Structure 1
């Protein structure tokens, strides 16, 4: 925990490598001091087929899934840090966004908890 899933148009990966984009999201999340490095997980899914406002304009959207317990200000700062960094490294991409959803502790389980 947390998990950051990056969805983007395939062309974005021609502008910047997947590894570079994921590393910037990782670094931005780490810079908020909400998580430790071993906790942060980042994945990327490029799309070759999409409709972005009835256009094929490039886009990036980051879905953040974090454990409940962070306040609204912390979540806003996390989103702002990640979107700001992506906007800095990919100024050609005009649609960059992010949302955060909370995992509830009740019902969450992973293999380290066995």
Structure 2
């Protein structure tokens, strides 16, 4: 169920291979123990143009985490810090690395298997 969508500047992909970035975010989420590994989805969206960071085009990484409601604030904060720590280790020269975690509501979530 958890979805991690990584937006980044395209130059990020010259520093690390896309597959490695996706795998590290996936494994970091697994290591939290909050999710079943088979439920974790990670996607990467590189931006070549049409973006600004601090008023100019510069390297950035932002992870949008969407998870099913029910985790505590501390669990979500730990998840955020673990993913950012891993990305900071992988990209020590990138100034802008961030994440936010949003909750899906169980009552309004639907997927193909539920219909």
**TM-score of the pair, normalised by structure 1:** 0.97
Could you list the runs of 5+ residues in structure 1 that have no partner in the other structure?
none
1:18 aligns with 2:18: yes
Q: 2:64: which partner in 1?
A: 63
The structural deviation recorded for 1:113 is: 2.0
Q: 1:7: which partner in 2?
A: 7
The structural deviation recorded for 1:101 is: 0.4
Q: Where has structure 1 moved over 4 Å in runs of 4 or more?
A: none
Task: Tell me the SS of whatever aligns to 1:81.
Answer: helix
The structural deviation recorded for 1:104 is: 0.1
**TM-score of the pair, normalised by structure 2:** 0.96
Report how many residues are paired.
114
Q: Mapping of 1:1-114 within 5 angstroms?
A: 1-49=1-49, 50-114=51-115
CA RMSD of aligned residues (A): 0.7
